[in-house]
Amino acid sequence: VPYGIRCEAAPSTVSRQAFELADVCWDDIGFGIIPTDYMYVMRCPRDGEFSNGTLEPYGNIELSPSSGVLNYGQGLFEGLKAYRKEDGSILLFRPEENGVRMRMGAERLCMPAPTIEQFVDAVKATVLANKRWVPPPGKGSLYIRPLLMGTGAVLGLAPAPEYTFLIYVSPVGNYFKEGLAPINLVIQNDYHRATPGGTGGIKTIGNYASVLKAQSEAKEKGYSDVLYLDSVHKKYLEEVSSCNVFVVKDNTISTPAIRGTILPGITRKSIIDVAVSLGFQVEERLISVEEVLDADEVFCTGTAVVVSPVGSITYHGKRVSYGGGGVGAVSQQLYSVLTRLQMGIAEDKMGWTLQL
Ligand code: COI
């Protein structure tokens, strides 16, 4: 049954839970929009501040045709997840980090932004209002999508006069159609994701529209996604369309350093800390394409993809494989440690989870 299609009968594997669940086929929800009950909306009027956020029924929004977000791409988004524990309670993962990142992006795009406290309170309120959509343990998570948009009308190029902060949620499973199986990436140099001095380091909506062509060409050729190189030297790894990248060689785990063209991923940052705590040497630096082709393992990280092992990378028609067709040992270990913490299966010694 495709995700989002309601089950005819309650799925046997998730009946008799101690908490109320929406009528969804939880066994295979994939990563697509499933409309839920409520969204959170908070506005910032001209020369004002964000205040008086409210929960509204989830649905279409009214937008001026000349809004800043539609005309000039003045918009940011965030992504974070809520997991259900066995006892029915719900865990958020480092929501304040998303609030901080949204504020950084807002500064770059000349937008006002909610305070970190407003951001976290709004996330909590939205998840609690939609709690029957948080999948049962082991069946996925509730993906939380905060948006910040210039919704006031402009015609000449300028910051919009009014802004809207909105959060909607959707239950999700695995991001890639491969599920947890390794993905196949292609490096190609016709397209780049970001340029020095540009907006690659913030989560602006335009960064994602600009990779759609590269991504769809790669998918047409059977690849899962594109691994981008830097636009100046066309030599150093940057990231994949929707996630950061890590390279493993012996006991060292390396990832491209944050220099303005790479998204400062919260999963990226968490994996670095987890890897250090497990005794790996971790390096944030320039990583050349030759180096990734010579690696023992490669994996991607992101809120949506979590930790996704890379099975092969193709560069100039040459395909290099990793992990012998399976999941590499380091990727597997990091995935397990992080997800057990996020799902509340293991004790959170990092203090990263927030229980609702
Ligand atoms: C996320 O991982 O949360 C993202 O924002 C990536 C998005 C393209 C799904």
267 CA closest ligand 1 atom index:
2
Q: How far is the CA of 303 from the centre of ligand 1 (A)?
A: 6
203 CA closest ligand 1 atom index:
5
**What local confidence, expressed as pLDDT, does residue 355 receive?**
96
Mutate to test the pocket of ligand 1, among 167, 268, 303 (most ligand atoms within 8 A of CB): 303
pLDDT confidence band for 5 (50 / 70 / 90): very low
Q: How far is the CA of 71 from the centre of ligand 1 (A)?
A: 23
Q: How far is the CA of 81 from the centre of ligand 1 (A)?
A: 11
- What phi and psi, each to the nearest 5 degrees, are found at residue 297? -145, 155
Closest CA to 306 of 283, 327, 290, 284: 327
304 CA closest ligand 1 atom index:
2
What residue's CA is closest to ligand 1, atom 6?
Answer: 242
Name the token pair of 279: 């005794």
Taking a C-beta distance cutoff of 8 angstroms, is the pair 256, 237 a contact?
yes
- Per residue in 33-72, pLDDT (tens digit) is 999 999 999 999 888 899 999 999 999 999 999 999 999 9
pLDDT confidence band for 7 (50 / 70 / 90): low
What residue's CA is closest to ligand 1, atom 3?
Answer: 79
Catalytically annotated residue among 203, 249, 269, 349? 203
Find the DSSP H helices in 26-133. Answer: 68-72, 95-108, 116-129
- pLDDT over 70 at 10, yes or no: no
Closest CA to 174 of 61, 278, 281, 308: 308
What residue's CA is closest to ligand 1, atom 9?
Answer: 304
Q: How far is the CA of 306 from the centre of ligand 1 (A)?
A: 10
**What local confidence, expressed as pLDDT, does residue 9 receive?**
47
Taking a C-beta distance cutoff of 8 angstroms, is the pair 261, 196 a contact?
yes
- Per residue in 219-260, pLDDT (tens digit) is 999 999 999 999 999 999 999 999 999 999 999 999 999 999
Q: How far is the CA of 250 from the centre of ligand 1 (A)?
A: 29
- Per residue in 167-182, pLDDT (tens digit) is 999 999 988 877 778 9
How much is the mean pLDDT over the chain?
93
**What local confidence, expressed as pLDDT, does residue 16 receive?**
52
pTM: 0.93
Coil, strand or helix at 17: coil
Mean pLDDT over 328-334 rounds to: 94
Compute, in degrees rounded to 10, the torsion defined by CA atoms 14, 18, 21, 23: 50
Mutate to test the pocket of ligand 1, among 167, 204, 243 (most ligand atoms within 8 A of CB): 243
Query: Which residues are near ligand 1 (CB < 6 Å)?
Result: 79, 208, 242, 302-304
Q: Note if 85 is an active site residue.
A: no
- Per residue in 188-197, pLDDT (tens digit) is 888 999 999 9
Mutate to test the pocket of ligand 1, among 242, 243, 301, 305 (most ligand atoms within 8 A of CB): 242
- Per residue in 98-141, pLDDT (tens digit) is 999 999 999 999 999 999 999 999 999 999 999 999 999 999 99
Compute, in degrees rounded to 10, the torsion defined by CA atoms 130, 243, 245, 238: -150
ipTM: 0.98
pLDDT over 70, % of the chain:
95
Mean pLDDT over 87-92 rounds to: 95
